[in-house]
Amino acid sequence: MANTIKTGNTTTRIIFVKERIPATCTNRVYYQRPRLLTVLCSIFVLIALLHFISIMHMSNAQGAPTTCQALLTATDYAAVVHLQSGRQQMEAVQFASQLTGGQPSTLVQVANTGAQSTLDVYVFGCTLRNHTPALTTLLAQRGLVQGNASISAANTLLTGEQDTTQAAQASAIEQPLQQSIYREYAWRNGALVQVAFPGLYPVASRYEAEQLQQQANNGQPLLWSDPLATAEQMASDLLHWPTTNRGNRLLSNDGNTAQVQLVAQHSRTRLIVTLQRLIQHDRQGLWFVTAAQTQGITLDTSHFNAPTASPISLRGSGALPDGQLSATLFDHTLSPLPETNILPFSVDASGHYSGTLSYPATLANQQALLLIQSPPAGSQETGQVLFTGVLLV
């Protein structure tokens, strides 16, 4: 392109030359932006893929727990117990490793809304199979009428249910705690098993003992705060001895264990009673009778370590040779059942005795108190007495 400029007699021609842009430069400018977008899009896609993989990994980890604690946390217990909507209600799941020696476990309670308002109690644990956790049922108690369940201060499981075998008249005069049967389960050799409460009197279960201790802690004066008074009241309630006797005395007391001597009014029978502060080991702790027997009489209790079926086999030594030995069972309310002592015991000249004791089916599934007596024939003879607890199947 050229322009002509005329100045006076001079003419100047200016030529403008247009610079040509190589084709390669034009292509570079044209294709540079799409390539950048492609790279950015690829980065975003990669990030999204990594996020998706992370979510899937977390989902798989949640769906397949690798530890027992994770399994027990993620388990759908409503599905495990086959919860029936509208007829059952599951209470909050409670972690209960204290019940199982520190191993992970859970306590699950299911309330049934039927006419009797029963309770189902479960304890679930976990085992590792090929490094994979698997749910196990450690305990299942179903149909507890007006039932309850709790973990004791001794890290045992306590369950209770209404005693439906008692007559309405008897229930009316009993204390509220006595209207239920309480059971205790402890961790033994990798399993929850029913155990006997070591206390024989004034109550026959840990649940009742803890309730009495709570009453004492709340300021209610109770007879069981004194070991001598507790022992004397036991002899009055179960043996019908006078509540006081000048021969009764406290033999020892170290603050946690005490021994008391009780003397029968019209004989030389001397009953040695051992008491302990089973629930609370301080000055406010209540006293519970854990053993009571006269010197000389023995009873083989090796088969009492587990629930005992009827008839109960009894054998021992130290009975008076006149053959008047008798046995009585007391139920969970510490009420005697004289009808259980039907067949006479065999007693030889050396005082060894043997026999069986049957109990009614209505007495099953509770802790009972067994009394062995060999009464004196006269005032110059020393009678024999022995108390022990026994779990009935």
- Distance between CA 48 and CA 169 in Å, rounded? 75
Q: Is 151 a residue whose pLDDT tops 80? A: yes
HEC readout, the chain: CEEEEEECCEEEEEECCCCCCCHHHHHHHHHHHHHHHHHHHHHHHHHHHHHHHHHHHHHHHHHCCCCHHHHHHHCCHHHHCCCCCCCEEECCCEECHHHHCCCCCEEEEEEECCCCCEEEEEEEEEEEECCEEEEEEEEEEEEEECCEEEECCCCCEEEEEECCCCCHHHHHHCCHHHHEEEEEEEEECCEEEEECCCCCECCCCHHHHHHHHHHHHCCCCCHHHCHHHHHHHHHHHHHCCCCCCCCCEEEEECCCEEEEEEECCCCCCEEEEEEECCCCCCCCCCCEEEEEECCCCEECCHHHCCCECCCEEEEEECCCCCCCCEEEEECCCCCEEHHHCCCCCEECCCCCEEEEECCCHHHCCEEEEEEEEECCCCCCCCCEEEEEEEEEC
157 pLDDT more than 70: yes
Q: Does residue 226 have a pLDDT over 80? A: yes
pLDDT of residue 175 exceeding 80: no
- For residues 62, 63, 69, 73, the Cα torsion angle rounded to the nearest 10 degrees is 90
pLDDT recorded at residue 159: 98
What is the pLDDT at residue 346?
Answer: 93
Q: Is the pLDDT higher at 91 or at 337?
A: 91
Under the banding of pLDDT at 50, 70 and 90, the label for residue 281 is: very high
Residue 224 and residue 230 in contact, taking contact as beta carbons nearer than 8 Å: yes
- How confident is the model at residue 155, as a pLDDT? 98
- The reported pLDDT for the residue numbered 26 is 43
Q: For 182-198, what is the mean pLDDT?
A: 96
Residue count of the chain, please give it. Answer: 393
pLDDT reading at 344 higher than 60: yes
Q: Looking at the predicted structure, is the pLDDT value of residue 318 above 50? A: yes
- Residues linked to residue 292 through DSSP beta bridges, in sequence order: 273, 387
- The candidate with the shortest Cα–Cα distance to 253, out of 276, 272, 220, is 276
pLDDT at 176: 75
Lowest mean pLDDT among 110-124, 167-181, 299-313: 167-181
Mean pLDDT confidence for 177-206: 95
What is the pLDDT confidence band of residue 271, given thresholds at 50, 70 and 90?
very high
| Residue 48, pLDDT score | 63
Please state whether the predicted TM-score (pTM) of the whole model is above 0.85: no
**Would the pLDDT of 71 be above 80?**
yes
**pLDDT digit string, tens, across residues 86-122:** 999 999 999 999 999 999 999 999 999 988 899 999 9
Q: What is the rounded average pLDDT for all residues in the chain?
A: 86
- Exposed, middle or buried, 149 (CB in 10 Å: 0-12/13-18/19+)? buried
**Per residue in 4-23, pLDDT tens?**
444 444 444 444 444 444 44
The CB-side HSE value for 199 (13 A sphere, CA atoms) comes to 26
Q: Among candidates 259, 292, 257, which has minimal Cα distance to 277? A: 257
What's the pLDDT tens digit per position in 113-128?
A: 988 899 999 999 999 9
At 368 the pLDDT is 95
- CA–CA separation, 185 and 205 (whole Å): 11
| Per-residue model confidence (pLDDT) at position 174 | 53
